[in-house]
Structure 1
Amino acid sequence: MILIGALLATCAGTAAVLASRPPSMIRRRLAQLSPRPVAKSRIRSVLITHELSRSGLGWSEIDLLRAKVVAALVAAAAVAVVGLAIPIGAAFAIAAAYAGFVAPTVYVERAASRCRADAERALVALVEWTEALVASGRPVETALVAVAERGVGSVLVDAALAAASRSYALGAPLFRALGREGSAVGLTTLARFAVELERTRDLGRGALTVLRDERERLRASERARTLDAAGHVEGRLMLVLVLCYLPALMMLVVIPLFLGLLDGLFV
């Protein structure tokens, strides 16, 4: 026991001496050059929506914060001006400022939703063009690079294809880079498509069968999405009819006719 205690005391003393030594010049230089992990701020996650990079607006985080502050000030000022004529409480100004502060975030999220919808439709064109080029005899990697140079008309898909093409030009595997970029922009369909192509290549199978299967699946998905959107048209048209046309019909036709009949009865 005495021997073990002495050994542990020696180890502790050695560790204390090593810990008290200042780091060398080389270690300090390496610490300055090495990237430091950026901790996620809770306040930043509340103020900045994660959909900003996927919205296609080209806004930075500073631009979004500036828009939120300006919208909040404008809304509060508008309510304050109204309050000069109509006596309203300060709660309305606070509510208006909050609504103005939240409005840019809602706008960014809706823009991101539209970009995702456009990207889902553009994936059909991506797979169809790639399948046509591969069927004509091109390798699938060359076909994807050619489609990336032309673009498919979607901000998210074009950005992912361009980034994957640049990585491929630098020597990175194209399918893996495409899957990584698809996951980064939130396009799970594109990432899964890249994984399927990589698995097909590893198994030594032709990519044409995978492209045709993916084309048919995307066409069926787009057809189902179109039918679902068409199913909501009737309800929206009925809403427009009830809220717009029927009140106009009542004001311009029914009520004047009814008043004319009443006037004729009592004359």
Structure 2
Amino acid sequence: MTYVEGFVTAVPTQNRDRYVAHAREAAALVKEFGAARFVETWGDDVPRGTVNDLWSAVQAKDGETVLFSWFEYPDKAARDAANAQMMADPRMEAMGADMPFDGSRMIYAGFDVINEAGPGGDFGYLDGVVVPAATDAKAAYLAFSRSSAEAFVEHGATRVVDAWGDDVPDGKVTDYKRATHLKEGESVAFGWIEWPSKAVRDAAWEKLMADDRLAGSPDERGMDGKRMMFGGFTPLLLL
């Protein structure tokens, strides 16, 4: 089963080119260590929320852009082996000494992919989401993920992925638990929708808002939509 290392990061907007260069260097090592895919996306349509949002998740400051990123591995064992190699490789240490962003505010965790739909491939636009879900309602969340993914693909999405928190560490400054205001008995879910373009995505959402497959009460969906964090992103690196 595919395993995902998911990240949300705040990067000074003026450092975009430096970040791309840094990410390309990191991607070469991550893929050398076993990652099947390395994706970085740049915030384009990231709304402010009333309870929480992706901006507050990483304590983004004025002049910063929020990024939504992930590494894909064949399974958790491959991810764990890759992380062990990263920690021991002096090249990673050297890159960490000169980062074009504040790494202390980056949130990251390991997630098990529980549902995937669509043919995949490169994409032109992305919807990313992080949401708290009731741990004992995982089956309901999976059922909702499957029905909504069917709707997304029908309306033009090329790939839909939903993943369930497995290795969600505590951070010194922030983390997924604080970002989602996680409560006892809840887990963190991480997912995304790949679209051919922003135009296709925008047209699809007009129809999806009236699609019953995306409706339902919190109990029926297995998650608290009021604490859902989401946004639209443009691809920065697809490797």
TM-score (norm 2): 0.21
TM-score (norm 1): 0.19
> Higher strand proportion, which one?
2
Higher RCO, Cα 8 Å, sep 6+:
2
> Higher helix proportion, which one?
1
